[in-house]
Amino acid sequence: MKWTKTLIQTLRDNPQDAEIDSHKLLMRAGICRKTAAGLFTFMPLGMRSLKKIEQIVREEMDAAGASEILMPALQPSELWRKTGRWDAMGANMFRLKDRAERDMAMGPTAEEEVTDLMTNIISSYRQLPLNVYQIQTKFRDETRPRFGLMRSKEFIMKDGYSFDVDAEAADKTYWTMYRAYERIFARCGLKATPVQADGGDMGDSMTHEFHALADAGEDAIAFCDGCGYAANTEKAERVCNPVFGKVDAPVEEVHTPNAKTIDQVAAFMGLDGSAFVKSLVYLADGEPVMVCVPGDRDVNEVKLRRYLGAKSVTLADYALVRDVSGAGVGSVGPVKPLKADVRIVADIGLKGASGCIVGANKDDYHLKNVDLDRDAKIAGYADLVIVREGDVCAKCGKKITIRRGIEVGQVFKLGTKYTKAFNTVYKDENAAETLCVMGCYGVGVSRTLQAVIEQSHDKDGIIWPSSVAPYQVVIENLDPSVEEVTKVADELEAELVRRGVDVIVDDREERPGVKFKDADLIGFPVRVVVGAKGLAGGGVEVKRRDEDKSKTRIVPVADAAAEIVRSL
């Protein structure tokens, strides 16, 4: 390919709306253009990388026993109503009506669609297991699209779905997919780490997320160096050894005017937030519950929901808080008098808490010298807060560290959640109808593209891994008007094409500096310089993008192709 024949538009300046390096480079290197908030056009370079990532995904999925299909992105509402997700998806789903006023959705995912499909196909155990996937545009009406392709309203995802005869077979499929994902990301040149995560809306069973570790990542991941435990902080478990000494003093009321938050009360009293008990009123499936956590920590609603065995937990509104506590937000506590009798649960960090400060259930008052065992009726203790740096690992007792990651993939065990809703059954050997057990597996294809850039760039631009680079090699023809130089460049191109190398010749009439800057910015893995000066001096120059200038090799034209292939 000749540079002047394709469309490569690089930018000198960073676009003003880009925040993180990979987003800036996406725009500057001419990979993408923004169409509107959260919507992007892939330019030829981006398209090439995207297709390479897709191809890697295809090869690994196929090798793992899955078959590619393509389902509509436009989905009828009936499918979503069957599982209750038409309502549950809320504002995240793009909805529209067709001319007959039928409700439709622009698919954010396709569990319903694929399950409906398979329900009509599967009849016998002989057909199972089945594993299908598609690479398709997905739509999510994100509240806040951000960071380019990382969080956009329209994105490309590989979504795969497996149907097995039972949980054991599904488990086997799950780990097959897990290993396929490890290979996919490795082949994309991405350092992606599997971490345990919460099932969220998708089901309550086991799931791993694959995270590309990067400071710009939107998720926080808890790692234990001791045992290798890795989990999203929404899931990560900790143990706690409370360090409260017994304070045997009577409870005392303190006037704390105009102090609503823990920070404000703590500042008012000249104390640290950890001296407080934060008491929150939640609605768990409509039932009010008081949740107490150390004053300097945040409730993990996922853990809370699980502990309570509830379908949903939401923070109570102000009116309900007053109904329960008798006081307004800011003065709520677990110690009586409470206006209403509620179940009180507490974080394990409060076990044996003594000498602490709680809301008095009386506006603008707190209580000090509170001993939870003595003064409150806690129904149970559990790990209910979001882990943070320095917490103690629940598996091995070592310290947890927190790092940030970009979620590029996820594998789920779905169980029978969807097959039950659609009655996806097969007949077993005894002709008994049995529900299929499902799994689902997603790769954020466009997000992976950006994650690669986020993990692999320097001050001059992108450093593409060879496997997903738009072109593996750029031949810089420094003197396109000199016939001999152009001949060498073009012949080298032809030779590389013969050897199966993806190559582009920069044949622009530009000054060398401009061409070098662009080559570095776009980040072709190998750069070959062909110029009149170099040819006179004995050959062409070969340099890898990730090498320093001092590593440049001068090789005779005859050996160039071999040297380039070696450099890849």
Q: In 3D, which of 105, 32, 91 has the Cα closest to residue 447?
A: 32
CA distance 241 to 391: 10
- Cis peptide before 76, with omega less than 30 degrees from 0? no
- Candidates 484, 291, 492; CA nearest to 379 is 291
Candidates 272, 278, 265, 243; CA nearest to 354 is 243
Region 75-94 residues binding RNA, contact defined as CB under 7 A:
none
Using the minimum distance from each CB to RNA, give the nearer residue, 186 or 532: 532
Looking at the Cβ atoms of 158 and 543, the one nearer to RNA is: 543
- Per DSSP, the residues of 222-245 read EEETTT--EEETTT--EE----PP
- Considering only residues 487-526, where is the footprint of RNA by CB under 7 A? 511-514, 516-521
- Shortest approach of RNA to residue 399 CB, angstroms? 23
The residue (of 133 and 381) whose beta carbon lies closer to RNA is: 381
In the chain, the largest separation of any two C-alpha atoms, in whole Å, equals: 96
Residue 87 or 168: the one with the smaller Cβ distance to RNA is 87
Check binding of 117 to RNA (CB under 7 A): no
Residues numbered 377 to 396 that lie near RNA (CB under 7 A) are: none
Asked if 359 touches RNA (CB under 7 A), the answer is yes
Element (H, E) at 345: strand 343-347
CB of 282 to RNA, least distance (A): 7
Part of the chain binding RNA (CB under 7 A), chosen from 208-216, 260-268, 348-356, 466-474: 260-268
Q: Which stretch binds RNA (CB under 7 A): 8-16, 104-112, 183-191, 391-399?
A: 8-16
- By the rule CB under 7 A, 14 interacts with RNA: yes
- Tell which one of 41, 261, 312, 423 touches RNA (CB under 7 A): 261
Taking CB under 7 A as the criterion, the residue among 46, 107, 145, 334 binding RNA is 145
Closest Cα to residue 520, out of 500, 488, 495, 548? 548
- To RNA, the closest distance from the beta carbon of 146 in angstroms equals 5
Return the CA Rg of the chain.
29
Among 92, 248, 318, 487, binds RNA (CB under 7 A): 318
- Are the beta carbons of 408 and 454 closer than 8 angstroms? no
Q: Give the range of 55-63, 156-164, 209-217, 327-335 binding RNA by CB under 7 A.
A: 327-335
Site size with RNA, rule: CB under 7 A: 66
For 488, the 3-state DSSP assignment is helix
Residue 326 region by backbone torsions, left for phi larger than 0, else alpha for psi between -120 and 50, else beta: left
Q: Strand 503-506 to strand 473-477: parallel, antiparallel, or no bridges (unpaired)?
A: parallel
Question: Which of residues 53, 188, 281, 308 is near RNA by CB under 7 A?
Answer: 281
147 near RNA, judged by CB under 7 A:
yes
Q: What is the DSSP string of 257-319?
A: TT--SHHHHHHHHT--GGGBEEEEEEEETTEEEEEEEETT--B-HHHHHHHHT-S-EEEPPHH
* DSSP single-letter state for residue 515: H
Interface residue with RNA, options 47, 71, 271, 280 (CB under 7 A) = 280
Q: Single out the residue of 331, 419, 446, 466 in contact with RNA (rule: CB under 7 A).
A: 331
Residue 454 as a binder of RNA (CB under 7 A): the answer is no
321 lines the binding site for RNA (CB under 7 A): yes
* 437 scored as a contact of RNA (CB under 7 A): no
Q: Which of 179, 499, 533, 551 binds RNA (CB under 7 A)?
A: 533
Instruction: Confirm if 406 and 191 have CB atoms less than 8 A apart.
Output: no
Are 105 and 94 in contact by the 8 Å Cβ rule? The answer is yes
Q: Is 44 in the site for RNA (CB under 7 A)?
A: no
Going by C-beta distance under 8 Å and a sequence separation of 6 or more, which residues neighbour residue 483?
Answer: none
Report the nearest approach of RNA to the CB of residue 274 (Å). Answer: 12
CA–CA separation, 106 and 93 (whole Å): 7
Which of the ranges 217-225, 240-248, 275-283, 463-471 carries the binding residues for RNA, by CB under 7 A? 275-283
Give the nearer residue to RNA in terms of CB position, either 277 or 414.
277
Binders of RNA among residues 462 to 491 (CB under 7 A) are 478
Q: Is 294 in the site for RNA (CB under 7 A)?
A: no
Q: Distance (Å, rounded) from C-alpha 392 to C-alpha 398?
A: 6
The three-class DSSP label of residue 31 is coil
Name the site residues for RNA (rule: CB under 7 A). Answer: 10-17, 19, 28, 34, 36-38, 143-147, 260-263, 265, 278-282, 293, 295, 298-299, 301, 314-318, 321, 329-332, 359, 460, 478, 511-514, 516-521, 529, 531-534, 541, 543, 549, 552
